[in-house]
Chains A and B, each alone.
Chain A
Amino acid sequence: MTSPAQRVDAMGPRRGSVGTVARFLLPKIGQALFVVWASYTVAFLLIHALPGDPILAALAVRGGDATTTDPAVLDELRARYGLDGPLWQQYLGGFFGIFRGDLGVSIATGLPVSETILRVAGPTTALAGFALIVGFLIALAFTVWAYLARPAWVRNVIVQIPPLGIAVPAFLTGLVLITVFSFGLGWFPASGASGFASVVLPGITLALPTAAIFFQVFSAAVFDAGASPFVFTANAKGLSQSAVVFRHVLRNAMLPAITIIGLQVGYLAGGTAVVETVFSRDGIGRLTVDSVLARDINVLMGVVIVVATVYAVVTLVVDALYGVIDPRTRTALAGAKPISAAKEVRT
């Protein structure tokens, strides 16, 4: 018995919710695009405002018979690597290239930059994903341990440990792990990027600072939640301690952790440069280091754009999912109407 009127009714609210979602998402998408554009602009300005000719610098590194001062040859090279013409043309050309997936040509190898980055994206994703999960678990373990620890001074000592994860240089962690677990015990390979075993040591190295950042957010949220009325109530109802910790305290601490995943992406992107070098692993970090060593600004720009894009997309997804994960934020998503309605109800 579906009458046309009913169908319109059924469509009505849905169209409305599409509107609200669009109203909620469009500014966020705009923000994400802005981050990519601004990162590109900042990197472009830095490279071209600072003294030095990129082509000459790259040739000087290559050395040998590649070094030339013949203007005709230099002009040809500039044209090949997209470094010819007025600056604004290079700027716009590079920017619109991003949307075609065209990031230019590597000065060092002559291969397309997007292809070069894509080839090493896999190992880095595996490494970063492993580090993110292990870092999350370490932070979680320390948070629960600190929350349950008695007396207070033991807790104070435990709380001091995770922040060390930021202070320890990644190359030190990596070299100690290699010394102990590769050359000492022979459990894991010291280098390379093949198979799961090769992810473990670099992953742990990268996970320590990740855990430190997670812990900062967790512990603040957990101790906040611990002092909140709903935990008081849960304790008063006579729930077991583990039920209180896992069902009430931790659930409320997870949320802020999700919001900083975008931040972690930035951190991981920087951290892989050192970790992949220590473990001689192929990946985006090592590619970045190699491109700087070869003064290959095209690959470097490409990496900046890719990292900014991943950061922007992750931030966008987290923002969009936030309303789904936390029902309390949904009123904000739906706009001003429900809030004013709620006020009316109250008065």
Chain B
Amino acid sequence: MRLLRYPGMIVSILLLAVTALAVIAPALLAPYDPYESVGTMRLAPPSWEHLFGTDHLARDVFSRVIYGARLSLSAAGLAVVAGVTLGAVIGLVTGYLRGVVDAVVMRFVDVVIAIPGILLALIVVASLGFGPVAVGLGVGLGTSGAFARVMRAQVIRVRAEEYIEAARTLGGRGPTILVRHVLPNAARPIIAMAALELALAILAVSALSFLGFGAQPPAPEWGALVSAGRDFVATAPWLSILPGLVILAVVLAVNRIARYVGGER
């Protein structure tokens, strides 16, 4: 196993395996019910019984973090899927058509890239209403510009290849060639980039959820957990800092693996 030479990779893979389990079957990992009080112990500090302590309603915070993985990561996943899809479509069309369409659309893409991602996401949330889906779509829109640029560059590269010319000579129609021949050959760098963007999307989604635009209470979305703990930061700082550290760890792990996928050792 060559992977074993990179200790960072081993830790990252283990952490993501646990996270994946928390997404698929949170009940296996969580010691308590995330929505029910576990007794009368309010704002209890971390202990072996309650790893992350208990919140102001005496709920087990560790269990809430475990159950929150699904909400937070699916919103981040939605963001990446939305960003890749929108970006790929724009990149495919502009890169294939070139000319005026390309020039006009890409100038707008430049502007979408220049507008801070969180501001774009806030506009989407303000129009669509609050919730993880709106947050995911908003964050995805912010990343779509970068995807569009990379996709367009790939399409322009692939278009010049001989097999595209061959497909056209054989009578293939534009859309067919795009989907059947250009897309598969242009997709590789997009996949590596999508992995990197997932880490950033987790950060952006948790920031928006921290601001109160994600899943509404009592849903245990990660950013919302940090935000809820913030009210008690003077007396029980672990309530917000421990879930925050979980977000950080997952972001670093995803980032490490994404860089490995992208060819960095």
Instruction: Give A contacts to B, CB under 8 Å.
Output: 34-35, 38-39, 41-43, 46-47, 50-52, 54, 57, 164, 167-172, 175-176, 178-179, 183, 190, 266-267, 269-271, 273-274, 277-278, 288-289, 291-293, 295, 297, 300, 303-304, 307-308, 311
**Which residues of B are found within 8 Å of A269, using beta-carbon distances?**
116, 119
Query: Interface centre among A51, A54, A270, A307, by most B CB within 10 Å?
Result: A270
- The answer to whether A288 touches B108 (Cβ under 8 A) is no
Other A-B pairs, 13, CB within 8 Å; known A51-B128, A175-B244, A179-B233: A42-B112, A50-B128, A54-B127, A167-B203, A167-B248, A175-B226, A176-B241, A178-B233, A266-B114, A273-B211, A277-B210, A297-B126, A308-B115
Known contacts being A169-B203, A172-B245, A175-B244, is A274 close to B124, with CB within 8 Å? no
**Which residues of A are found within 8 Å of B247, using beta-carbon distances?**
169, 172
- The answer to whether A171 touches B226 (Cβ under 8 A) is yes
Sampled A-B contacts (6; CB under 8 Å): A171-B207, A171-B223, A273-B118, A273-B207, A295-B126, A304-B115
CA distance A171 to B210 in the complex (A): 8
Q: How far is the CB of A163 from chain B (nearest CB, A)?
A: 9
Known contacts being A171-B207, A175-B244, A274-B211, is A42 close to B126, with CB within 8 Å? no
**Which residues of B are found within 8 Å of A271, using beta-carbon distances?**
118
Closest to B252 in A: A167
Interface of B is mostly: helix
Q: What total count of A-B pairs have CB within 8 Å?
A: 137
- The answer to whether B210 touches A179 (Cβ under 8 A) is no
CA distance A164 to B248 in the complex (A): 10
Q: How far is the CB of B53 from chain A (nearest CB, A)?
A: 14
Query: Interface centre among A46, A176, A308, by most B CB within 10 Å?
Result: A46
Closest to B206 in A: A169
Give 1 or 0 for each of B182-219: 1 = CB within 8 Å of chain A CB: 00000000000000000100010011001111000000
- The answer to whether A42 touches B119 (Cβ under 8 A) is no
Instruction: Give B contacts to A, CB under 8 Å.
Output: 107-108, 111-112, 114-120, 122-129, 141, 199, 203, 206-207, 210-213, 223, 226-227, 230, 233-234, 237, 240-241, 244-245, 247-248, 251-252, 255
**Which residues of A are found within 8 Å of B199, using beta-carbon distances?**
167
- The answer to whether B233 touches A183 (Cβ under 8 A) is yes
- The answer to whether B233 touches A273 (Cβ under 8 A) is no
- The answer to whether A270 touches B119 (Cβ under 8 A) is yes
CA distance A267 to B117 in the complex (A): 9
**Which residues of A are found within 8 Å of B251, using beta-carbon distances?**
167, 169
Closest 10 CB pairs of A and B: A270-B116, A172-B244, A50-B127, A270-B118, A38-B111, A179-B237, A266-B116, A292-B126, A292-B122, A171-B210
- The answer to whether A47 touches B244 (Cβ under 8 A) is no
- The answer to whether A277 touches B127 (Cβ under 8 A) is no
Q: How far is the CB of B241 from chain A (nearest CB, A)?
A: 6
CA distance A85 to B233 in the complex (A): 48
**Which residues of B are found within 8 Å of A277, using beta-carbon distances?**
210-211
**Which residues of B are found within 8 Å of A170, using beta-carbon distances?**
207
